[in-house]
Amino acid sequence: MVIDKSNFIAVFSADSPRKIELGCGHHKKGADYVGIDMIDTPAADIVGDALAVLKALPDGSVSEVFSSHFAEHVDDLEPILNEVRRVLADGGTMTTVAPHFSNPYFYSDPTHRRFFGLYTFSYYCSDKLFRRQVPDYSKIDGLSLVSVDLVFKASRPHYLAHAVRKLFGLIFNSSNFLKEVYENSFAPIISCYEVSYVVRKS
């Protein structure tokens, strides 16, 4: 069941693509985003399952899709990505922020269905960023990986650890090669908080 609180779906159009946030929770990324969430919060403009909401939107009617700590709660990511590709306008982008597999905090949440690493979206999107190549059996035509960044931080009150981890982020994110070095050799030693992917529809 989809509840469109302010009749937003009707105004989505390929002539004037809009921004959406999947799993917006209690706070949207910005006022110009249409918030989508299963829970009826003040930030949610449309309440319902993300896949059902995406299916209700017209082709090419979205300029940007954003989600933060949403994708780890999804049982099957591929149908979501297929719908994202359909609703994105040409040149539109999707930014996904999700927990990195090395972050021990995220194993405590029983609602998490999956964890993410440097190459997760390489399985779904065309990837010219990394040397390591992954199987292409899940590739979705028309989606290209633009960037992947490792996010190093620590939660309060661990301020010193946070500062040190930010330094690690500056080092490892300075090149795609060093990102691969981190995940291959240092992930078990220095945990990464989350990973941020940007994908573009070509």
Residue-wise pLDDT for 51-105, tens only, equals 999 999 999 999 999 999 999 999 999 999 999 999 999 999 999 999 999 998 8
Asked whether residue 27 falls in the same domain as residue 103, the answer is no
Q: Could you tell me the two tokens for 11?
A: 């105004």
pLDDT, mean of residues 28-50: 96
Asked whether residue 104 falls in the same domain as residue 170, the answer is yes
Distant-in-sequence, close-in-space partners of 33: CB < 8 Å, separation ≥ 6:
19, 20, 21, 24, 66
Buried b / exposed e across 10-37, counting CB within 10 Å, b at 16+?
eebeeeebbbbbbbbeeebbeeebbbbb
State the total domains in the chain.
2
Q: 149 is in which domain, residue-wise?
A: 98-202
pLDDT at 106: 86
| Beta carbons of 108 and 85 less than 8 angstroms apart | no
pTM for the whole structure: 0.94
Residue-wise pLDDT for 122-147, tens only, equals 999 999 999 999 998 899 999 999 99
pLDDT at 137: 87
Task: Single out the residue in 68, 84, 119 at which a domain terminates.
Answer: 68
Residue 147 resides in a domain: yes
Residue 109 resides in a domain: yes
Asked whether residue 60 falls in the same domain as residue 123, the answer is no
Residue 183 resides in a domain: yes
